[in-house]
Amino acid sequence: MASDQDASSSNSCNFNSTLRTCYKYDIFLSFRGEDTRKGFTDHLYYALKRSGFSVFRDDEELEREVISKELLQAIEDCHFAIVVLSKNYASSSWCLNELQHILYSRDNLCQQVFPIFYAVDPSNVRNQKGSFEEAFVGHQMLQRDNKVLKSWRESLTKVANLSGWDCKDR
């Protein structure tokens, strides 16, 4: 289990936000499809469903750049978010944008966020090393805006500082 390294990253709500008691879904599942869709994430999704949770999972296979308003609303309509951080998670601008909105919901809407480090070292996520570093090299080659890159890096650091599960690929 990864530990909280920064007390300020504990899951506390903005006092100006209203506590929500009604959610459309229990859990929003964020993952890199090509890494885990047909294995780990499918098993997790069906296990959660069997346990009685309503789970939102974006099932479309295509990589997209712009997240729809409906997907942003689905993130906000969930009490919990599970973020499966896998080897190629950071190579997807879609995943990184989704993560940013999940963390916005955590900070402003009292959503609980649980990271799963699937076959990646939490410190590589936190410090953008290994495949996470390679992903940012790729984003830079695509001439992504430096402000956006900085924001994505901060989001990865923030989620990696949360308590979560470290799942080694066996």
Which residues belong to the active site? Answer: 98
Residue in this structure with the two tokens 């885990």, named with its chain if needed: 36
Strands (E), the chain: 25-30, 55-57, 78-85, 112-118, 165-167
Question: Do residues 78 and 102 touch, judged by C-beta distance below 8 A?
Answer: no
CA 164 – CA 156 distance, rounded (Å): 13
CA 10 – CA 6 distance, rounded (Å): 7
CA 158 – CA 104 distance, rounded (Å): 11
Please tell me what DSSP assigns to residue 15.
T
CA 38 – CA 46 distance, rounded (Å): 12
Sign of the C-alpha dihedral computed for residues 107, 104, 73 and 14 taken in this order = positive
